[in-house]
Copies of this chain bind each other. A is one copy, B any other.
Amino acid sequence: MDAETRALERPVDHKREVRLWLRLLTCTTLIENEIRRRLRRDFDVTLPRFDLMAQLEKAPDGMTLGEVSRRMMVSNGNVTGLVERLAAQGLLERAPNPSDRRATLIRLTPEGRRNFARMARAHEGWVAELFAGLSPPQGETLMDLLARAKHSAAAACE
Q: Interface of A with B (CB < 8 Å)?
A: 11-21, 23-34, 73, 121, 123-125, 127-134, 136, 138-139, 141-143, 145-157
A152→B17 CA distance, assembly (Å): 23
| Other-chain contact of A127, B18, B33, B148 (Cβ < 8 Å) | B18
Given contact pairs A18-B123, A20-B131, A131-B152, a sample of 15 additional A-B residue pairs in the complex whose CB atoms are under 8 Å apart: A13-B124, A16-B139, A20-B146, A21-B31, A23-B150, A24-B146, A29-B73, A30-B153, A130-B153, A133-B149, A133-B153, A134-B148, A134-B149, A141-B145, A142-B142
A124→B17 CA distance, assembly (Å): 8
* A27 and B130 within 8 A (CB): no
* B149 and A27 within 8 A (CB): yes
Interface of A is mostly: helix
* B14 and A25 within 8 A (CB): no
* B73 and A127 within 8 A (CB): no
Question: Inside 8 A of A23's CB, which chain B residues have their CB?
Answer: 143, 146-147, 150
A64→B17 CA distance, assembly (Å): 28
* B150 and A26 within 8 A (CB): yes
